[in-house]
Amino acid sequence: MKSKKRKTYHHGDLKRTLMTVALDAIRQHGVDSLTLRTLATRAGVSSGAPYHHFGGRDELLAALAAEGFELLASRMLHAREASDASPAIRLKSLGIAYVDFARTHIGHFKVMFRGELQGAAGSALAIEGERAFGLLREAVEQCQQAGQAPAGDSSPLVLYAWTTVHGLASLMIDGSLKKIPLPTDKLPAVVTELTERLFGALAGLGTGRQA
């Protein structure tokens, strides 16, 4: 019986190789199964090689998370710039971009929001995470200024918009939406449109307006 041929890697940039292999392992088996020892085996290097680039598993995961937030922010910026319509439509575009990112960068998405990895102020992870979150907050506040979302503190609206798309993204990549009789590729637009309508309706009612 022939043995299964192991995938080989060229280590011109070992750090990049380790991150790429880690992302693939996380996508297939989840975060908790990853160790630097198993990562080294997958990459075909010595068990000590990863420690030349990462002080430990959490440092590797933090680097992946920071990279993920950077990619997410770029995806959201592109979506925003491609939409020259109203603030509400731009917010919808950001939400769709968020879900699309999660579906195409599963390895990154699975590590980006782990509580134990939240970076200290000034770290690459903290900076990139705040940049991505700032794009969402700015979009919500522009909706408020245009009368397309209720006035007042933007934080509850930002939280609602974020948890809505994040929850959808998580359910989609976990394969947990089989009971929903809608095409999977249509769900991001459906959910973000509902958020747009809800914000608009609340704005019309004056909900959240300051006295």
Q: How many CA atoms lie within 13 A of 54 on its CB side?
A: 24
- Tell me the pLDDT of the chain averaged across its residues: 89
Q: Is the pLDDT of residue 4 over 50?
A: no
**Is residue 54 a contact partner of residue 60, using CB atoms and an 8 Å limit?**
yes
Tokens coding 22: 């880690």
Of 115-129, 133-147, 180-194, least confident by mean pLDDT is: 115-129
Contact between 151 and 208 (Cβ < 8 Å): yes
Contacts of 66 (CB under 8 A, 6+ apart): 119, 123, 124, 125, 127, 128, 129
pLDDT in tens, 110-120: 999 987 777 66
Mean pLDDT of 139-167: 96
Examine the pLDDT at 194 and tell me if it is beyond 90: yes
Whether 9 has a pLDDT exceeding 60, the answer reads: no
Spatial neighbors of 154 by CB under 8 A, at least 6 apart, are 137, 140, 141, 144
| pLDDT winner (highest mean) among 4-13, 162-171, 199-208 | 162-171
Quote the tokens at residue 47.
Answer: 């068990």
- Over the stretch 22-50, which tens digit does the pLDDT of each residue have? 999 999 999 999 999 999 999 999 999 99
Check if the beta carbon of residue 77 is closer than 8 Å to that of residue 103: no
Is the pLDDT at 3 greater than 50? The verdict is: no
Residue 54 tokens read as 């990462």
Contact, 148 vs 86, CB < 8 A?
yes
| Structural domains of the chain, with CATH | 10-55 (1.10.10.60), 62-205 (1.10.357.10)
What are 124-130's contacts with CB under 8 Å, separation 24+?
124/62, 124/63, 124/66, 125/62, 125/65, 125/66, 125/69, 127/66, 128/66, 128/67, 128/69, 128/70, 128/73, 129/65, 129/66, 129/69
State pTM to two decimals: 0.87
**pLDDT (tens digit per residue) in 46-91:** 999 999 999 999 999 999 999 999 999 999 999 998 887 899 999 9
